[in-house]
Amino acid sequence: MSDNRGIDFLKGFLIGGALGAVMALLYAPKSGRETREELGGRMGDMYEKARSEYEVSLDRARHSYESAITRLKDLEMDAKNKAAEVEGMMEELVDKGKTSVTDSKTRLKDALHAAKNAFKDEAQTKPEDDDA
């Protein structure tokens, strides 16, 4: 919004200067040569003021651009750090999942082995029971 005010000011300044120059020509009590010299001086002043406003606007734009770039770089670093943090958490969850699966697999093997042994024991004791 401040950029628009600067541009509007510059437009108003230039239009006002042009109108002032026309009015000065129309109502000047001086000779044409003196009037032209005075207008030349005023135009030089207007040019300097316009150039000064331009430089101020350019500096503001440059500062805004640099601030935006700095902020974007900060956001990029934050995003990279968060991504690394999430990646670490995912690796930790995967490791826990692998451990859990390995533990479950081991318990299942132990249970199957125990069931197999129990079945063998039962099969060995059953014929003796049939004979008795």
Are the beta carbons of 61 and 3 closer than 8 angstroms? yes
- Give the pLDDT score at 128: 56
* Sequence-distant (≥ 6) Cβ neighbours of residue 13 within 8 angstroms: 46, 49, 50, 53
Q: What's the CA gap between 102 and 108, in Å, rounded?
A: 10
Domain count, the chain: 1
User: Which residue stretches of the chain have pLDDT < 50?
Assistant: 132
- Give the pLDDT score at 30: 66
Are the beta carbons of 38 and 30 closer than 8 angstroms? yes
Is pTM, for the whole model, over 0.85? no
Structural domain containing residue 15 = 2-131
Q: What's the CA gap between 88 and 94, in Å, rounded?
A: 10
- Give the pLDDT score at 126: 67
